[in-house]
Each structure stands twice: as C-alpha cells, then as structure tokens.
Structure 1
Amino acid sequence: MTTSLPHASDGADAAVVQTLPLFEMMRMRAATTARRHPRHGFAGEGRASAMRWVNQFTHTHRRLGPDDREVVSPNNDTVYSNAWLDLSAGPVVIDSPDMGERYWTLGLLDAWTNPFAYVGRRATGNRPQRTLVHGPSWLGTVPAGITQVIAAPGDDVWLIGRILVDDDGPDAAQVRALQAQLRMERLDGSDAAMRVDTGLDAADTGVPDPQLYSATVATALQRNPPPPGERLLWPPATPEALAGALPAVYARLRADQQPHALGGGWAIPVLVRTHWGDDLRSRARIARNFIGALGMDEAMYPTAEVDVDGAALHGGRRYALTFAPGAGPRVGAFWSLTMYRRSDCLFVANPIARYSIGDRTPGLRHAPDGSLTIRLQADDPGPDANWLPAPRDEAFYVVLRLYQPHADHLEQRFTYPPIRPV
C-alpha cells in the first residue's frame, strides 16, 4: 500500500487526514453507546448529558426498513449487537452462546478503524465461547475456560455484532433469544459496565468545531497511540491551520470516488483485511463515509451506480442483472443485492416490502439453463421474475453484499456482470 496524503503543504491537512478516524470513532461512540443501564440507570442526568455506558451490549431486534434513517446504506440481512469496550480498567470477558448453523460475527475495530479481530462463524466457529479482550498494558494470567484471547492495540474498541435473521417473526424471536445471551463481565465475574464522558453531541454529524476536534483527538491519543511504525503528525502548527483544514478535508473525502473498479460498472469502496497500513487517505475516507465496515475476509460490498453503458441507474428505466449458469457470487455464507435511493442512501419503500434479494430469498427463480436474472425496476415485472423494486423516477444504486467471500472475489478475479437496460 502507498501513503496518500492531502494536497496542502503546511501539514494541517495531513494531520487531519491522519487523526480523522480517531475523531469519527469517538463521535460514533457517543452516538451508539447506551444512555441507560438496565440495573444502574442513566449514565448522566438529562438528555444533554454526554455520559454513556460502555462495556455493555445494545441490540436491534429487527431488520431495518425504509422508515429507519439513522444509518445510511444499512443491510437488510442481519440484526446488530453493538458495544464499545473500555479496557483501561482491565480486560473484558465476552460470553457468546451456541449459534447453531447461523451466520454471525463480532467484528472488533480499534480506535483507528482497523478491523483487527473477529469472533464468529468464520473466525472461531459457532460453539459457545468465552473471549477475553485486553488492552496493551494488561499482563495478567488467563483464567480457565477462556476459548480465545484478543489483544487490543489501544484501550478503546468498537465491537459490532451482526447475526443473520431470515424474517421479522419466528426467526427474529430466536435471534433475540441469542442476543440476550451475549454478555460482558470482568475476570472476577462482576458486571463490566462503566460510565464514560464522551464529550460529544451525538446528533452532530457535520464538520466539527476545531476546538472540539483538537480536544477529542488529544484525549483519544492518550488511550490509543498511533499504529506501530506510523509517525504522528499531530497537532498542526497553529489552531488557524486546523480551522482551515477541517472543512477542506471533510469536503474532499466526501467527494472522493470509489477507488477500486471491478469492471462492468461495479466498484468496491472498502478493501482492507485487518489493518490499513500506510494508506492514510483510504482510512480517512472510510472513517468519514463507511465507518464500521467489516474487513474483506468477512464481507465485501461491491457497489453499482451505473449501467453497462456508464449511465446512472434511474427508477424511470428498467434493468436486468444476470448471473450466467454457475457464475453466481461465490461465498462461504450467503449473498444479497440491496437497493438504495441515491438521494438519501436509504431503502426504497415498495408494495412487496422487499429491500434486498439474494440466495436466501424465498421463491428465487433460476432459468432452465441455471442462470439467474434479477429485475431492477419500479413497476412489477410479473410473478415469474425475481424483482428488486426500484424507486419511481429517482436515481438509485445497489450493493452486492458477499458474506465470507471466496478467493475469486478476494483476489478480484470474479467477473461481475453489468446491469443492462431492458
């Protein structure tokens, strides 16, 4: 990989590009941690309080739909189990139950957005497990009964759990019971939950105030040093330089094009395994636009915004995506194709309440020769078609999610078929 730094010569842009992942992770911590503990109550007084509970799971119990607007480009395959770990007071032990044959993963990201470890179907299996996660200063003894030990590079870790769910009824109820068995405790068996002052307004997602940015980064650096071999460029020479660099860098990262073209109008926004290395620009771009994405061994997200002719996909037209016989996505878990409006990056409400289609979709129809065609359009193509409804008279894009992708995808040897107008 190669380091890709910003254009400015005074170093302020470079310092922002390097530290932006730290700030955005702290912003996500403020936005996704719990205000209330089930036994100990609220972490702080009043809705304006920045106090939150960490070392505690929070769960969604249903798949997201078109009325959910908190997360852009959400998936429609799994429910989430979210936790932020604070390892400054010692290790945390995570209990996870027997998941049967179900796909699940707990992805661990450090404060620099490196997806450095996993627990789950691909990485550790589906048996009951006890995972010990510790920070860089812990030198204790691993107790009996621990199935794996994860050494975190810093004291702050974002744990994002995804559990496959097939419906919003009976299967969702089974998954909810599994989520209830995800627990965190200390080595002595006590509750691991603790209060932290996030210092941030979780509702503010814009370009941050320079003083707030500087204070947040400085605090985060004390607990999460730069990755080994990375020279720290912080702080900028002057506060004035930081104030000028922040809006410029944020605007540039938002406008960046997806850098990894796959052919056929497809591109992939995230190509990382466990560490971004010295590719600071990509690390910052993902932190701003796709924060929380899994590493490619766990999942890949090829995205199409144009058809075979390079024209933007639009709900005023009809399209077909055809996988030739034996040439469908190659995955160890499952795949899905999800539809989003370009205007807000959210699901498209439609009469059949279908927001994604894939190898688990009931009634999926293959042609006699084994090929699979998916119709992307606003109007119903008829009962014999595999229909993924598009927004009427609006631009859209689709994401092909590949869970546990095979080497064909990982090595970028897979031929992605183009989306063709009908």
Structure 2
Amino acid sequence: MTDADVHDALVQTLPLFEMMRMRAATTARRHPRLGYASEDRRAPRRWVNLFTHTRRKLGPGDREVVSPNNDTLYSNAWLDLSAGPVLIHSPDFGSRYWTLGLLDAWTNPFAYVGRRSTGSRPQCTLMHGPDGPGRVPPGVSQVIAAPGHDVWIIGRILADDSAADLAEVHALQDALALRRADGSDAARRLDTGLDAQEPEPPPAPRFLPCVDAALARNPLPAGEALAWPLEPAAVARQLPAVYETLRRQDQPRQLGGGWALPVAVRSHWGDDHLTRARVARNLIGALGIEEAMYPTAEVDADGRPLHGSQAYELRFPPGGLPRVGAFWSLTMYRRSDCLFVDNPLRRYSIGDRTPGLRPGPGGELVLRLQAQDPGPGHHWLPAPAGEPFYVVLRLYQPQEEHLQFRYAYPPLHRLG
C-alpha cells in the first residue's frame, strides 16, 4: 500500500477516532446513583446511556470541545445500542430553542429531536441500532434508527446569563432521561479505551486499536470502501501530515467577503471524506445546515488572514441582518487552539440577544473586531492580541435565503 493510500485511509477513518476521543472526554466517570464506572478512577471506563450537562456557558478555560458555542448550555449523552433500544424522554420546552442532534460514529448528523424537528411538547423517542427496535412500548412519540451501535446526542438549550434563566434551563436538563423499554435506567459501563487528553496527532498504537473497535460496532457508511488494516509504521509516518492537512485545508464553500462555509452537510457527508475529517478535527459536533449553519471567516475581504494586531469592521446593511427562525451570534476564536479568547468583558460572542446591540441611525449594524477597546459607541467583539483568529457566524434555524446560498454576507474590512 502506498503512502497516498495510507493517507486517504487515515482521512477516511479519522472521524471515528475523533468521535471516540470525544466520548472518552465527555462521558461521566460517576453515575449519580450507581457510583464510579471503575474502582480505579484512572481507568478509561465510563458511563454511557447517561446524560451529562454543562450548567454554565463554556469559557476560555474549557478545552474539551473545539469551537464551542457561547449561546446554549450543552447536554450530552453517548448511546451504546448494542444491548438494545434506548428511550429518550424530553420535557416541555415551551418556546425556548432546544435541539438534541444525533450523530453517528462517522459524524453524520442523521436525525434530531427538538424545536424544529419534533416540536417542544413532552415526548418519548425510541432509538435503536442495526438490530432493530424490538417491541415498541406505549407512549413512544417517534422511532429513530441509528446506522451503528454508537450515537452521540449533543443537546443545545438556549440560555441567558441571568440566574433565573439558568435555573429554568437546569430544570429542563434534569428532566432529560434515558431508559430501557421496561422503564429501567439505561446507563451501562463501557471501556472507552482512550485517555480524555489524547495528544494530536495520536500515536499509531492508540489510533489503530481505537479505529478497529469503532469499525466493529459501526459499519462503513453505504457506498464506502476502506483499505484496512494499516501497517503501524505507515500510520506513524502519515498521521502528522494528515492532521496538518486538516488544520490548514481551505474552507470548501466560499461565500464572499472573507466568509466560507465549513459545514454544508444536511444528514450525511457522502463521499466528501476530506471535509468530514476536517470538521471532525476542527468543528466536531456540528449539526446539519437545516438546524444550524456556521459561516466562518479566517481571512478578511481581501483574503488576508485575520490577526489580532489589526482592527476589523463588519457592517450589516439596513435590513440585512441574518435570516433565522431562532437566533444568530458571532463568536471569536484563537486560531492556535480553536478556543475562546479571554478578555476583560468576558465577551466571547455577540449577536441578536446581546444587551444594547442595535443598528445606528441609518439602520446599519456595525461590529468592531479587534484586541483593543474601540471606545464608547462601538459594538466590540474582542480579538486576541498579536495572534491569528477566526470568527464563526452561527445561524440557528437558518431560513431559505441562507440554505439556498442567496444571502449576501457582509465583508470583513480591515481598518487603517
């Protein structure tokens, strides 16, 4: 097998490794009632079929998720469907935005439960794997088939920063539950086989067994063929180049003005293995575009990389704000690690729910992106001083103008 063949096989299977790494990083060591998954707390055993929740919005110190949002609280669960179906119970969310995105082990966002897709009433969703649904108990609202035994539920619930609103969201999170058809707790122990802080790129002796185990539980997507197994020495040679390629690869869909769309998937990546791997490395957990779109700017309108030594302006013309059914936000990240930029304002995003954000007298909304405070009268999103950065314009429930790529994204202009 040539080095090029090995490189292609690694690009194809890297999403499996990244998903299993995320599972190791985000599953619970301790069940609230049943205790630790292992008596040795350093062991890689974790609880699956169990929701875990973030109780606050993520900040610069949170490193488990790359390019996280600053709009919602997360509720996560990793399903192991090898022992049978799991019921997902969700409460009444009222008018609040919420979604449970269902990703298979290849990062295909194959289904949803939530405001846009199934409504906000109390509901019970039966999730099953390749072995089928079995007997469907009374009260099930919908049945969803997963292509493999491993599924990541990545939930997002809109939250304000007030204590009262956070308390409401916490109650909604606590009402999410995973059960068996007989009503028992679905939680079970699973050996993740990985450390939560795997290096990048991972060594071949970590990468290969992890992918082997994931392949046994999650068949290749329809239409794919894979050159496997691979020689460890060839993997050790090629993995650094693969990760460097994914770090530097250009965005696949250019939108103009410095904007590009890294994720244009709806429910399945198809044969676009390179973009699938790039998103797994840089934007893992991204949803399909009907639920959310993530236009990203890494360069300005003239194609120059965004850098904290410069100041930039983003002008939305009168009547030209994003067209969304839920809400939008613009989030700032350091390029070096894809994480939030610490700043005195503790402002990591700015959007239609930011207090005081309003168009000027002529109807334009102007945002300033820079490291130094531009002073009174400006809507400021702080950038890292002296470092490259990028921004993501998150669009929740984007409308047709975005989905059909007819929206004119305002250019990012460098000042001075």
Give the TM-score band, short-chain normalised.
over 0.9
Q: Distance in 1 between matches of 2:346 and 2:133?
A: 52
Q: Distance in 1 between matches of 2:17 and 2:302?
A: 40
Q: Distance in 1 between matches of 2:370 and 2:169?
A: 32
Query: Could you state the TM-score of these two structures normalised by the residue count of structure 2?
Result: 0.95
- The equivalent residue for 2:69 is 75
Q: Please state if 1:341 is matched with 2:334.
A: yes
Structure 1 gaps of 5+ residues are 1-6
Q: Please state if 1:207 is matched with 2:201.
A: yes
Q: Distance in 2 between matches of 1:413 and 1:224?
A: 37
- The equivalent residue for 1:151 is 145
- The equivalent residue for 1:41 is 35
- The equivalent residue for 2:344 is 351
Q: Distance in 2 between matches of 1:45 and 1:309?
A: 57
Contact 2:132 2:145 in 1 (8 A): no
Q: Could you say what the CA RMSD is over the residues aligned between the two structures, in angstroms?
A: 1.8
Q: Please state if 1:379 is matched with 2:407.
A: no
2:112 is aligned with what amino acid? Y
Bigger drift between 240-249 and 112-121 goes to: 240-249
Bigger drift between 243-252 and 276-285 goes to: 243-252
Q: Could you report, residue by residue, the CA deviation over 1:227-253 in whole angstroms, capped at 9, with x for unpaired residues?
A: 1222232223x4433333333322322
The alignment-based identity, stated in percent, is: 67
Match of 1:175 among 169, 183, 187: 169
Structure 2 gaps of 5+ residues are none
Q: Please state if 1:289 is matched with 2:282.
A: yes
Contact 1:154 1:225 in 2 (8 A): yes
Q: Please state if 1:400 is matched with 2:393.
A: yes
Contact 1:135 1:155 in 2 (8 A): yes
Bigger drift between 388-397 and 269-278 goes to: 388-397
- Compared with structure 1, are the counterparts of its residues 210 and 312 closer, same or farther at alpha carbon in structure 2 (3 Å cutoff)? closer
Q: Could you report, residue by residue, the CA deviation over 1:168-222 in whole angstroms, capped at 9, with x for unpaired residues?
A: 4211111011100001100000000000111111211322232332222222222
- The equivalent residue for 1:241 is 234
- The equivalent residue for 2:158 is 164
How far did residue 28 of structure 1 move? Answer: 1.3
- The equivalent residue for 1:391 is 384
- Compared with structure 1, are the counterparts of its residues 376 and 254 closer, same or farther at alpha carbon in structure 2 (3 Å cutoff)? closer
Q: Could you report, residue by residue, the CA deviation over 1:323-361 in whole angstroms, capped at 9, with x for unpaired residues?
A: 111111111110001122334333233333222111111
Contact 2:101 2:154 in 1 (8 A): yes
Q: Distance in 1 between matches of 2:156 and 2:252?
A: 26
Q: Could you report, residue by residue, the CA deviation over 1:126-153 in whole angstroms, capped at 9, with x for unpaired residues?
A: 1111111001112512121111111000
- The equivalent residue for 1:125 is 119
Q: Distance in 2 between matches of 1:419 and 1:212?
A: 41
1:147 is aligned with what amino acid? S
The alignment partner of 2:83 has SS state of coil
2:84 is aligned with what amino acid? G
Contact 1:63 1:168 in 2 (8 A): no
- The equivalent residue for 1:3 is none
Q: Distance in 1 between matches of 2:215 and 2:88?
A: 26
Match of 2:217 among 218, 223, 237: 223
Q: Distance in 2 between matches of 1:209 and 1:341?
A: 26
Moved >6 Å (runs of 4+): none
Q: Please state if 1:13 is matched with 2:29.
A: no
- Compared with structure 1, are the counterparts of its residues 285 and 377 closer, same or farther at alpha carbon in structure 2 (3 Å cutoff)? closer
The alignment partner of 1:184 has SS state of strand
Bigger drift between 384-393 and 217-226 goes to: 384-393
- Compared with structure 1, are the counterparts of its residues 281 and 421 closer, same or farther at alpha carbon in structure 2 (3 Å cutoff)? closer
How far did residue 10 of structure 1 move? Answer: 6.0
Q: Give the aligned length.
A: 415
Q: Could you report, residue by residue, the CA deviation over 1:99-139 in whole angstroms, capped at 9, with x for unpaired residues?
A: 11111110011111111000011111111111110011125
